[in-house]
């Protein structure tokens, strides 16, 4: 018995396949499919699938990754049966990313030469192939003032077609604080 391990939410067609099932004595067999877990779906059979070997269903919308389990029971002419289970996980493509491990790929912008350096946010765990965009960048010092070389625009969001957004950040130090600027980005 086969089927996909994962399926997209909301409208994907999924086919379960029991066609490799057989009776060791080569007796004819019948197929009975039953859903045993997950949000209810309707199993339908193609016009040529009179034995009900390969049911299909349409995935529902789910609010989180959700397993759907099916039981296939195969019965021979003498009433002997054998059953197997298959689980398909319906993936919620709109689950927010896990950013608990997110951090800049550059720890320190050095030297403080007022040049822009490209910085990526790494350590974001995405539940899908969705693109994650950097939406805002903030900093803890004025964008242009005494001690920063009078260079305005200290952060520029870079939007890349690949979805691998980055930020250009200016490397500078405030001599009064003896520290550089702290930048924060939001994804």
Residues 138 and 159 in one domain: yes
Number of domains in the chain: 2
Residue 82 and residue 129 share a domain: no
SS3 assignment, position 30:
strand
Give ∠ CA 80-84-89 in degrees, rounded to 5.
Answer: 160
Q: ∠66-94-62 over CA atoms, to 5°? A: 30
Q: Are 86 and 121 members of one domain?
A: no
Residues 110 and 84 in one domain: no
Same domain, 119 and 87: no
Q: State the Cα angle at 150 between 144 and 154, rounded to 5°.
A: 50
Whole-number Å distance between alpha carbons of 94 and 64: 8
Indicate yes or no: pTM above 0.75.
no
Note whether 87 and 116 are same-domain residues.
no
pLDDT of residue 1: 59
Has residue 72 been placed in a domain?
yes
Strand order, beta sheet including 13-15: 13-15, 55-58, 44-45
- pLDDT attached to residue 145: 63
List the pLDDT tens digit at each of the 187 positions of the chain.
566 766 777 788 999 999 999 999 999 999 999 999 999 999 999 988 888 999 999 999 888 889 999 999 999 999 999 999 999 999 887 767 888 998 889 888 888 888 889 998 888 887 666 677 788 888 777 766 665 556 777 888 888 776 667 888 888 765 556 555 666 666 5
Residue 148: per-residue pLDDT: 54
Q: What is the DSSP code string of 138-161?
A: EESS-SS-TTTTS----EEEE--T
Give the CATH number, domain containing residue 36: 2.60.40.10
Pairing of strands 179-180, 173-174: antiparallel
Structural domain of 169 = 103-186
Contact 61, 81 (CB under 8 A): no
CA-CA distances (angstroms) from residue 5 to 38, 86, 87, 161, 174?
A: 14, 9, 7, 30, 54
pLDDT at residue 146 in the model: 60
Strand order in the sheet with 29-37: 6-8, 81-91, 66-76, 29-37
CA distance 141 to 143: 6
Same domain, 118 and 82: no
Residue 60 and residue 26 in one domain: yes
Q: Return the pLDDT at 32.
A: 95
* Same domain as 15, residue 86: yes
Write down which residue in 91, 119, 137 finishes a domain.
Answer: 91
Residue 96 lies in a domain: no
- pLDDT on residue 7: 73
> Do 13 and 67 have their domain in common?
yes
Tell which of 59, 91, 123 closes a domain: 91
Distance CA 137, CA 51 (A): 60
Q: Does 37 share its domain with 110? A: no
């Amino acid at each position: 018995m086969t089927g996909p391990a994962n399926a997209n939410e909301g409208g994907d067609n999924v086919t379960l396949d029991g066609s490799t099932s057989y009776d060791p004595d080569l007796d004819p067999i019948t197929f009975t499919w039953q859903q045993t877990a997950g949000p209810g779906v309707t199993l339908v059979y193609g016009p040529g699938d009179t034995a009900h070997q390969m049911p299909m269903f349409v995935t529902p919308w789910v609010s989180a990754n959700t397993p759907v389990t099916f039981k296939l029971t195969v019965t021979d002419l003498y009433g002997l049966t054998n059953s197997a289970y298959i689980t398909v996980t319906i993936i919620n493509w709109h689950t927010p990313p896990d950013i608990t491990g997110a951090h800049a790929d550059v720890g320190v912008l050095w030297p403080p030469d007022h040049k822009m350096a490209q910085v990526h946010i790494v350590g974001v765990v995405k539940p899908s192939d969705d693109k994650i965009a950097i939406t805002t960048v903030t900093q803890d010092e004025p964008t242009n003032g005494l001690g920063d070389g009078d260079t305005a625009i200290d952060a520029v969001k870079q939007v890349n077609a690949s979805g691998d957004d980055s930020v250009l950040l200016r490397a500078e130090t405030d001599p009064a604080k003896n520290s550089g600027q702290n930048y924060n980005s939001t994804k």
